[in-house]
Structure 1
Amino acid sequence: MNNKNVLSIILGGGQGSRLYPLTANRSKPAVPIAGKYRLVDIPISNCINSNIKRIYVLTQFNSASLNKHIKNTYHFSFFSQAFVDVLAAEQTMKSDKWFQGTADAVRQSMHHFLSNEFEYALILSGDQLYNMDFQDMIKKHKESNAEISIATYPVNAKDATGFGLLKTDDENKITSFIEKPAAELLPDWTSDVSNEMKKEGRNYLASMGIYIFNRDLLIKLMENPDTIDFGKEIIPQSIHNHKTVSYQYEGYWTDIGTIESFFEANLGLTDEIPKFNLYDKNRVYTRARILPTSKISGSMLNKAVIADGCLIHADKIEKSVIGIRSRIGKGSVITNTYMMGSDYYESLEDIEKYKIDNLLGIGDHCKINNCIIDKNCRIGDDVIINGGAHLEDKETENYLIKDGIVVIKKGATITKGTKIQ
């Protein structure tokens, strides 16, 4: 298909308060995942792999690091019409307000989109982990003469109450939609899904927050300033007036909305065959850093994902993701941990200066379990961090405990001998 027909709009999300403190200094799409990527790389890579190369990313909170990442990453030929542009909320003659919701973000940025030629707008979320061929969804959208397509995902009863659910007729046309239904309403919302999904008890069709709109309809829908959200207003109001179809997707997909889901998604990459498979023909693109290979001495590694440029002397690293430029000292044991790594190396002079205290990375003889370590942290020697259900939620200047996961804040120093257990 001619990719000039499609314009992609990635919604960067709001303040990302459920991912705090990872979103204290950066927008949600800029949160580092898998040791070397950022969340926004996932939808952008899905677009590029689907030959869609005109992409806007909408954001309004802490957008500086996102801007920098995109500027340093997505370079297309000078003669190409391809681009990835960040649109932060801006004051204009028509509006002086922040984005109020997903549809309002699109409405306020509409004048930028309409400067491009396109027939279909592909609207995506900036905080999901999945691998999807959008060309197939667009092809089916055209074949069914739809005005709106919604990507849907079969979920079980436990998860169903957290999503917008929909029902379809025999031709995949959506007949009804409900946002986050109460558990007692669920019996009325089961859908026809594949036998494999039925076996897993996934009988409800959830909206993935991935939409295709025909250009003319999107322009028309954006004329009403009172509709501020796609899931809560635009979709429920549109299904009876405009042909809206479901595109059922059964691959791996997860919405990274909480610290717990973020932690599980990252540690899931250490599985024998990860559900989100980075070792695949569909590449995930990110910033090309010129880093040396990782150097590992005397360490036992089991189910460990190690990024570039690391210096590791640990005794053992198990079921952990170790990000770029990470340094781990002798005798340390790291389990069930996502260490994001560092943005820079310390010089030999810096190492001399800090070695009495805390070097960048993890020191000697540390034991760290159930932990997320944000970028540029200094963890001194003999530190014990043992996350788990036994720990109550709390926050200090340097770390936060949420659902048993200990999150060391970006740039924090955990001094020698500290115990969080």
Structure 2
Amino acid sequence: MAAVIDLNEDVHTLLPLTEHRPIGTLPFAGRYRLIDFPLSAITAADIHSVGLFMPESERSVQDHIRSGAAWNLDLIQGGVFLFPYVATRDYQNDDLRARYYENYTQFLRGSGSKYTVVMGAKNVANVNLNAILNYHKAGDNRITTVYKKLPLDRIRPTDWTLALSEQGTASAIVQAKERHDDQGKNEIPSFMDIYLLATTDLIDLLDDAAQSHVFRRLPELLRDYVLANNANAFEYTGYLARIDSIQRYYDSNLQMLDDASFQSLLLSSVPILTKSKNEVPSFFAKDATVVNSLLGTGTYIEGTVQDSVVFRNVVIHHDALVDHAVVMQGSKISTGSTVKYAILDKGVVIGPNLTIVGKPDKPIVLRKNQTVFRESEVEGSAHA
């Protein structure tokens, strides 16, 4: 197999966390980035050629991936291939539009692969790509899709879902709001943005699209391909989080405090790999209290942390309280301050004796490198 990871995912619903990074490099679970999950699945499947199709804000992707060594992809033959972003406004230009498709087809032809898996980064899961490949080979359709059954209360109107036939094949990929056959059902097959098909079929699909005067991105082409041909539908049964809103990002991080979710995602059949950072262990002062929390390395804890996810090199000073919060790398909470129901992006500094409190269903978000010395500087705080 070869693999394509398309990082051109809509970032607007995750602002301000995605002001300077794509969804794929959002930090997760104390030490990972979202892109680590598809890359780890690719490594476990022994895939040697990976095409990364870059978003507009690509610096953080390059910094995280580098040579691909963390995922054993720094190879003499194959490895990680990074393809530049082409702005949407340029697709009206015939040459630039052709380049979009040509980037894909050149990579696919050079990979020498029989099959290709196409993935995004906003679905956090522990996926066995070899099992999906075997399922595809045993199926009767030219393309295979992947889904997980989710309860109705976890499905939003704009979520992509599979329309399944009585034979268990996928007849279409539709948004949940367009479904009309779910009366009496307790679960809906949520589509995981994973496709697997023969490389030659994918090249033909892209070549045909290049001849059209109407530009369509690869995900749209593949959704239409499923509608035209039907698809094998592989059911995934492990942990799944769809990161496409602030609330879902917050909730899925805190779900890692649940042992069953943590084990299913991070200690399952596929080891989750990430860029290594050789840092000192976390330090806990004698008066520190840490309860039901996940901490990265290099943290310095003098205060109280409970029911929270804390990333690397975070400092929490004496008499500070962090409760039901996601605190990213390099942040600092000063003496006497309380942070609750909040997301602190990288490098946030909270001054002393402040109370920053959001709500479970509407966490406060502080921007990258934001410094707060007055509660009135924080929009949405209970004390603002």
Q: Which moved more, 1:115-124 or 1:280-289?
A: 280-289
Q: Pick one of 383, 391, 406 that aligns with 2:364.
A: 406
Aligned residue pairs total: 366
**Alignment counterpart, residue 235 of structure 1, candidates 211, 223, 229:** 223
Q: Which one has the bigger helix percentage?
A: 2
Question: Structure 2: which 5+ runs fail to align?
Answer: none
The residue that corresponds to 1:361 in the other structure is: 332
Q: Which residue of 1 aligns with 2:321?
A: 333
Match of 2:189 in 1: 205
What does residue range 115-264 of structure 1 map to in structure 2 within 5 Å?
Answer: 115-158=110-153, 159=155, 161=157, 162-170=159-167, 172-174=168-170, 176-182=171-177, 185-187=180-182, 201-202=186-187, 204-222=188-206, 223-224=208-209, 225=212, 226=214, 228-229=216-217, 232=220, 234-240=222-228, 242=229, 244-264=231-251
- TM-score, structure 2 length as denominator? 0.86
User: What's the offset of the Cα at 1:323?
Assistant: 0.4
Counterpart amino acid of 2:189? L
Task: Report the Cα offset of residue 338 of structure 1.
Answer: 0.5
1:106–1:322 distance in 2 versus 1, CA, 3 Å: farther
Does the C-alpha gap of structure 1 residues 71 and 123 become closer, same or farther in structure 2, counting only changes over 3 Å? same
1:289 aligns to 2:277 (yes or no):
yes
Name the residue aligned to 1:36: 31
- Are 1:339 and 1:374, in contact at CA under 8 Å, matched by a contact in 2? yes
Q: Is the 8 A contact 1:7 1:52 kept in 2?
A: yes
Decide whether aligned partners of structure 1 residues 234 and 55 sit closer, same or farther in structure 2, where only a CA change above 3 A counts: closer
Distance in 1, Cα, partners of 2:95 & 2:29:
38
* SS at 2:308 equivalent: strand
Whole-Å separation in 2 of the counterparts to 1:77 and 1:184: 40
Distance 1:77 1:378 in 2: 36
Q: 1:312 to 1:95 in 2, by over 3 A?
A: farther
Distance (Å, rounded) in 1 between the aligned partners of 2:375 and 2:176: 48
Counterpart Cα distance in 2 of 1:404 and 1:267: 14
The superposition leaves residues 128-155 of structure 1 with CA deviations (integer Å, 9 ceiling, x where unpaired) of 1100111011011112253100112223
CA deviation profile, 1:321-343 (whole Å, cap 9, x unmatched): 1100111100011101000122x
TM-score, normalization: structure 1? 0.79
| Cα distance in structure 2, aligned partners of 1:179 and 1:77 | 34
SS at match of 2:278: coil
1:283 to partner: Cα distance: 1.9
Judge which range, 124-133 or 156-165, deviates more. Answer: 156-165
| Match in the other structure for 2:294 | 305
The change in CA–CA distance for 1:73 and 1:118 in structure 2 (over 3 A counts) is: closer
SS of residue paired to 1:336? strand
Of 78, 84, 87, the match for 2:80: 84
- Name the Cα RMSD after superposition: 2.8
| 8 Å contact kept, 2:333–2:350 | yes
Structure 1 residue ranges (4+ consecutive) displaced by more than 6 angstroms after TM superposition: none
Distance 2:138 2:179 in 1: 37
Residue 96 of structure 2 aligns to which amino acid in structure 1?
Answer: D
Distance 1:334 1:160 in 2: 30
Cα distance in 1 for residues equivalent to 2:190 and 2:267: 28
Q: Residue 274 of structure 1 aligns to a residue in which SS?
A: helix
Q: Distance in 1 between matches of 2:165 and 2:309?
A: 40
- For the 8 Å contact 2:163–2:172, the answer to whether it is kept is yes
2:367 equivalent to 1:385 = no
1:96 aligns with 2:96: yes
Q: In the alignment, is residue 319 of structure 1 matched against residue 307 of structure 2? A: yes
Structure 2 Cα separation of the partners of residues 53 and 362 of structure 1: 43
Task: Check 1:384–1:77 CA distance in 2 against 1; reply closer, same or farther (3 A cut).
Answer: closer
Kept in 2: contact 1:166–1:206 (CA 8 A): no
Asked if 1 retains the 8 angstrom alpha-carbon contact of 2:123 and 2:192, the reply is: no
2:363 maps to amino acid: I
How far did residue 96 of structure 1 move? 2.5
SS of the aligned residue for 2:356 comes to strand
1:280 to partner: Cα distance: 4.2
Q: Identity of paired residues, percent?
A: 18
Aligned-residue offset at 1:232: 4.8
Structure 2 CA distance for partners of 1:107 and 1:148, relative to 1, 3 Å: farther
